[in-house]
Amino acid sequence: MNLLEYQAKALLTKHAVPVPHSQLIRAATDTLSLMLPVMLKVQIPVGGRGKVGGIRAARTKTEFSEIAADLLSRPILGYSATELLAEELVHIHRELYLALAIDRDQQTAVLMAHMHGGVDVESAANDSRPVWQRTLVSAPKKAMARELSTYLKLNNTQASELHLLLKHLYDVFIQEDALLVEINPLVITDSGDLLCADAKIELDDAASFRHEKDWPRAMHSQQFIPLVDKGEPKQSAHIIASMANGAGLAMATIDAIADAGATPANFFDVGGGTNTTHMAEAFATMAKLPGVSAIVVNIFGGITRCDDVARAIITARGNVKKLPPLYIRLTGTNEAEGRALLADAGIALYPDLKACITAAMEVRHV
Amino acid sequence: MFDSLFKKPGVLVQGITGSHGTFHTAAMLAAGTNIVAGVTPGKGGQTVHDVPVYNTVAAAMNAQKIAISAVFVPAPFAKAALIEAIEAGVKLIVCITEHIPVHDMLAVLAAAKEKGSVILGPNCPGLLVPGVIKLGIIPATVGLMGETAIVSRSGTLTYEAAASLSAAGIGQRYIIGIGGDRLHGLSFVDCLTAFQADLHVARIVMIGEIGGQAEQQAAAYIKAHVTKPVYAYVVGHSAPPSTQLGHAGAIMGGESESAAAKTAALEAVGATTAQSLPALIAKLSKAS
């Protein structure tokens, strides 16, 4: 789960990490409690908003209302924001980059830093300029903070501030089950203080069982991912929705749909256990995607049992209006039981994925 | 590495009294696996399909000769279960459980490294040696005894690959799903090492995914060490960038993590590649 900036900063504040004074704005008519001027930052789950006018300064009350109204009224980078973050103006002396992340290959936590933070740090990282990186097995020690301070060219006061900051960021990383805590930029202000001007935090969805109370509600569910949207021109005569059990099979299914010359409408991994409600919701969402002419269901049961899937399909089919035709492939654990149930319900089955897609593409698009 | 699988090793099932544990214990027994014990805290003294259940791994190890554990413990309790097996000295731990937090796996993998345990998974379907042993949830019906070794990050594609090969009359020595999480134990390179060393393996099928660098590392290893034919498919050609597609590990960061880049890297070291699994199986069938 990727947090929005204001959610990330709320977690930072909870762990005593310094961030600018701010106020969440939900409407242009909200009363501003901060001193003018303020920066208004649109809250969307992707980077690059500054380059397209998603971060703007307001010097007067009138400007504040106008900019707030504008940022809340139109999509930015494809997202319609419902929140803005108003922040006090930060007087920037230098911009640095700091991140705690998981190194997949080394299977460890790492602390990374860069002399030059800011909007273009990713392209900067591709330069040969050094990126400072150390493995973390426990909270950063004083020696590590001192070493990093030397690399970042901080003075003695800032070096002690950095050590404290690193310890607090490590608390966020571990206690909040974060996969990424990225501070970009970490600002040295004109008065010499360290301040986290922007933050990106990704939390581990798998750890939600131990954070039910303190985590923000998930903003963007990642299980069902639409791949077509209403704004885009139609790419092909056949737009095919799909579901499969297992992420790999679901990806292979959309690959095969694209290979056959049709447009995959979505990605959906129905998961290991089969839940009738989830399946009905997925069918309903698919039926609403623009131009979908068919739904391919590709199930190879391992831990998933075919008879459970069959029951879920039958129930879900009955509950969803205007459902496009289903093309189902069902094999694996409890296959015979699953096939019998679908046969009784008068639902046809296809021997493999290719046969499903071929049949789905024979449907004339209306 | 896998030699011991052919010597009827004693297998422990952790989480044996749960619904998945019970169901798949029956399936593993039917496939010839020598399950000698189960563990569920508080359920010691019961039996599941005539397999004795113990409260702790240590108690099970005292009572039975155990080399391998298959773990079906729910994610919130998986870290403790895995560390318990590692500390009790289980050499091979097959972890089926999905959705284990990353910070938990960091601790588990560090403990496994220290004690010399090998972890297969988590979030994996396990391992099937057709006609010999089944550890995990790969349906035994997909397998046929033979000389092909399959290794895959995806569970269901593992079944798909094996079933397609079997239908074409091409049998398998090993069918292994290493799991789709960001952090996992046994890697592509570990499996390629074992396959290259195994005289009964004639060819290798490898199924990769978008995200991470594991396929590039496999390609480097193939270039340096693998002389057997490798057939590779990388899933996710239609995946949008920076979007996580189900598997926690399947999120495409940079361009090098795309299916196209990984396929190119594998092709450059002599692997036969294809854009879909059926196309790959067709190429393999023609060559065999």
pLDDT of A194-240, one tens digit each? 999 999 999 998 898 888 776 665 433 446 788 887 656 566 789 99
| B257 reaches A (C-beta below 8 A) | no
Measured distance CA(B135)–CA(B5) in Å, rounded = 10
| A45 reaches B (C-beta below 8 A) | no
Would you say B165 and B171 are in contact if contact means Cβ atoms under 8 Å apart? yes
State the nearest Cα–Cα gap between B132 and chain A, in angstroms: 19
Q: Are residues B109 and B201 in the same domain?
A: no
Contact B125 A303 (CB under 8 A): yes
| CA distance readout (Å), B62 to A327, B47, B50, B88, B115 | 52, 17, 18, 10, 19
Contact A269 B276 (CB under 8 A): no
Question: For residue range B24-82, what is the model confidence (pLDDT) as tens digits?
Answer: 999 999 999 999 999 999 999 999 999 999 999 999 999 999 999 999 999 999 999 99
Task: Give mean pLDDT, residues B136-148.
Answer: 96
Tell me whether residue B133 is in a domain. Answer: no
Q: Side chain identity at A167, as an amino acid letter?
A: K
Tell me whether residue B129 is in a domain. Answer: no
Which overall architecture, per CATH, does domain A21-88 show? 2-Layer Sandwich (3.30)
Tokens of residue A276, six digits? 């009738």
Q: Which of A284, A298, A293 is nearest to A250 (CA)?
A: A298
Last residue of a domain, one of B88, B120, B152: B120
Predicted-assembly ipTM surpassing the 0.90 threshold? no
Indicate the number of domains in chain B: 2
Contact A248 B248 (CB under 8 A): no
pLDDT of B198 above 80: yes
For the entire predicted model, the pTM comes to: 0.86
Owning domain of residue B190 = 138-287
Tell me whether residue B127 is in a domain. Answer: no
Q: Are residues B98 and B230 in the same domain?
A: no
| A51 reaches B (C-beta below 8 A) | no
Q: What share of chain B is helix, strand, coil (3-state, %, to 5)?
A: 40, 25, 40
User: Which is more confident, A120 or B219?
Assistant: B219
Tell me whether residue B282 is in a domain. Answer: yes
Q: Assess whether the previous peptide bond of A37 is cis (omega < 30° from 0).
A: yes
Q: Give the CATH number, domain containing residue B25.
A: 3.40.50.720
- State the helix-helix crossing angle for B102-115 and B75-87, rounded to 10 degrees: 10
CATH topology of domain A92-210: D-amino Acid Aminotransferase; Chain A, domain 1 (3.30.470)
User: Which is more confident, A233 or B105?
Assistant: B105
Contact A257 B238 (CB under 8 A): yes
Q: Are residues B144 and B263 in the same domain?
A: yes
* Intervals of CATH 3.30.470.20 along chain A: 92-210
Q: Which pLDDT tens digits describe chain A residue by residue (366 residues)?
A: 889 999 999 999 999 999 999 999 999 999 999 999 999 999 998 888 988 999 999 999 999 999 999 999 998 888 889 999 999 999 999 999 999 999 888 899 999 999 888 765 555 445 545 589 999 999 999 999 999 999 999 999 999 999 999 999 999 999 999 999 999 999 999 999 999 999 999 999 889 888 877 666 543 344 678 888 765 656 678 999 999 988 889 999 999 999 899 999 999 888 766 667 777 888 888 988 888 999 999 999 887 889 988 998 998 888 888 899 999 999 988 899 999 999 999 999 999 999 999 999 987 554
For an interface test with A, which of B245, B251, B255, B263 has the most A Cβ atoms less than 10 Å from its Cβ?
Answer: B245
Query: Which residues are within 8 A (CB) of A84 and not within 5 positions of it... i.e. 6 or more apart?
Result: A24, A25, A26, A40, A41, A42, A43, A68, A71, A72
Contact B180 A247 (CB under 8 A): yes
Nearest to A102 among B102, B163, B244 (CB): B102
Last residue of a domain, one of B86, B120, B154: B120
Measured distance CA(A137)–CA(A201) in Å, rounded = 20
Determine the residue of chain A that is closest to B139 in CA distance.
A302
Measured distance CA(B20)–CA(B27) in Å, rounded = 11
User: How many of the other CB atoms lie within 10 Å of CB of B168?
Assistant: 15
Last residue of a domain, one of B92, B120, B148: B120
Q: Mean pLDDT check: name the lowest of A176-180, A303-307, B183-187, B223-227.
A: A303-307
Q: Are residues B152 and B260 in the same domain?
A: yes
Tell me whether residue B266 is in a domain. Answer: yes
CATH 2.40.30.10 assigned to domain A224-361? The reply is no
Q: Look-up: residue for tokens 């009905």? A: A280
pLDDT given for residue B87 in this prediction: 98
* Intervals of CATH 3.40.50.261 along chain A: 224-361
Q: Give the CATH number, domain containing residue B199.
A: 3.40.50.261
